[in-house]
Chain A
Amino acid sequence: MKHLTQDQLIDYLHHALAPEDDAAVYAHLQACPDCQAAMRAETALTEALQRQAAAEERDLPAGVEATIWARVDELSSAPSFADRVRAWLRPAILVPVAAVLVLGLFFAPQLFRRAPVSIDAAYYLDDHAAVNGTMPFGDASETIPASLTSTGDPVNASAVAVDPVTMTADAGP
Chain B
Amino acid sequence: MPVRNAALAAIALFALAGLAPARADDAARLLRQAISAPTTTSFVGEVQTLEIGESQTQASVYRIEHRAPDLTRRWYLAPQSLYGDSILTHGEHRYSIDVQRNRVIVDENDAIDDQVAMDDNFGLLTTNYRAESAPNETVAGQPCNVVMLENKHTGQTVMRIWMDAKTHLVLQKERYAANGALTSQTRFSNLRYTTAIPAQVFQVPSGLTQVKGSRHAQPSSDVNAAVKTAGFRAQSPRYLPEGFIPVTGDVTDVNGVRTLHLLYSDGIRTISLFENEKDVAIDLSHYTAKSVRFENHDAQYVEQGPITLLSWSEAGLHFALVGELSRTELIKIAASVVP
Residues of A within 8 A of B (CB): 116-128, 130-138, 141-165, 173
Q: Are B214 and A123 in contact (CB under 8 A)?
A: yes
Q: Are A145 and B96 in contact (CB under 8 A)?
A: yes
Of B132-140, B189-197, B247-255, the one contacting chain A is: B247-255
Residues in A neighbouring B253, C-beta threshold 8 A: 157-160
Q: Can you list 20 A-B pairs with a CB-CB distance of less than 8 A?
A: A119-B257, A121-B282, A130-B112, A131-B216, A131-B261, A134-B117, A141-B89, A143-B307, A148-B98, A152-B286, A154-B105, A155-B254, A157-B213, A157-B254, A158-B253, A159-B216, A159-B217, A162-B222, A163-B229, A173-B221
Closest residue on chain B to residue A145 by CB atoms = B96
Q: Are A135 and B121 in contact (CB under 8 A)?
A: yes
Measured CA separation A128–B224 after assembly (Å): 19
Q: Are A130 and B109 in contact (CB under 8 A)?
A: yes
Closest residue on chain A to residue B307 by CB atoms = A125
Q: Are B320 and A124 in contact (CB under 8 A)?
A: yes
Residues in A neighbouring B286, C-beta threshold 8 A: 120-122, 150-152
Tell me if B71 is interfacial: C-beta within 8 Å of chain A.
no
Residues in B neighbouring A146, C-beta threshold 8 A: 304
A164 CB to nearest chain B CB (Å): 5
Q: Is the interface of B mostly helix, strand, loop or mixed?
A: strand
B74 CB to nearest chain A CB (Å): 6
Tell me if B20 is interfacial: C-beta within 8 Å of chain A.
no
Q: Are A142 and B118 in contact (CB under 8 A)?
A: no
Closest residue on chain A to residue B274 by CB atoms = A124
Q: Contact partner of A159 among B213, B251, B274, CB < 8 A?
A: B251
Q: Are B170 and A137 in contact (CB under 8 A)?
A: yes
- Interface size on B, as a range, is 35 or more
Tell me if B201 is interfacial: C-beta within 8 Å of chain A.
no
Closest residue on chain A to residue B285 by CB atoms = A152
Q: Are B259 and A143 in contact (CB under 8 A)?
A: no
Q: Are B281 and A136 in contact (CB under 8 A)?
A: no
Q: Are A125 and B304 in contact (CB under 8 A)?
A: yes
Q: Are B114 and A134 in contact (CB under 8 A)?
A: yes
What is the 8 Å Cβ interface bit string for chain B, positions 262-277, against chain A (1 contact, 0 not)? 0101011010101010
Question: Total A-B residue pairs with C-beta atoms closer than 8 Å?
Answer: 214
Closest residue on chain A to residue B111 by CB atoms = A134
Closest residue on chain B to residue A159 by CB atoms = B217
Q: Are A145 and B87 in contact (CB under 8 A)?
A: yes
Measured CA separation A121–B311 after assembly (Å): 9
Q: Are A156 and B280 in contact (CB under 8 A)?
A: no
Tell me if B258 is interfacial: C-beta within 8 Å of chain A.
yes
Tell me if B153 is interfacial: C-beta within 8 Å of chain A.
no
Q: Report which residue of B118, B214, B217, B219 has the largest number of chain A beta carbons within 10 angstroms of its beta carbon.
A: B214
Q: Are B281 and A117 in contact (CB under 8 A)?
A: yes
Tell me if B235 is interfacial: C-beta within 8 Å of chain A.
no
Tell me if B173 is interfacial: C-beta within 8 Å of chain A.
yes
A93 CB to nearest chain B CB (Å): 37
Q: Contact partner of B82 among A124, A148, A159, CB < 8 A?
A: A148
Closest residue on chain A to residue B185 by CB atoms = A142
Q: Are A126 and B214 in contact (CB under 8 A)?
A: yes
Q: Contact partner of A119 among B31, B76, B219, B254, CB < 8 A?
A: B254
Q: Contact partner of A124 among B114, B305, B322, CB < 8 A?
A: B322
Measured CA separation A153–B249 after assembly (Å): 25
Residues in B neighbouring A165, C-beta threshold 8 A: 222, 224-225, 228
Residues in B neighbouring A132, C-beta threshold 8 A: 270
Residues in B neighbouring A141, C-beta threshold 8 A: 72, 74, 87, 89
Measured CA separation A128–B89 after assembly (Å): 17
Q: Which of B170-223 contact A (CB under 8 A)?
A: 170, 173, 184, 186, 211-217, 219-222
Q: Contact partner of A121 among B121, B265, B287, CB < 8 A?
A: B287
What is the 8 Å Cβ interface bit string for chain B, positions 26-66, against chain A (1 contact, 0 not)? 00000100110000000000000101000000101000000
Q: Are B305 and A143 in contact (CB under 8 A)?
A: yes
B65 CB to nearest chain A CB (Å): 13
Q: Report which residue of B34, B96, B170 has the largest number of chain A beta carbons within 10 angstroms of its beta carbon.
A: B96
Q: Are A121 and B283 in contact (CB under 8 A)?
A: yes
Measured CA separation A154–B283 after assembly (Å): 12
Q: Are B222 and A164 in contact (CB under 8 A)?
A: yes
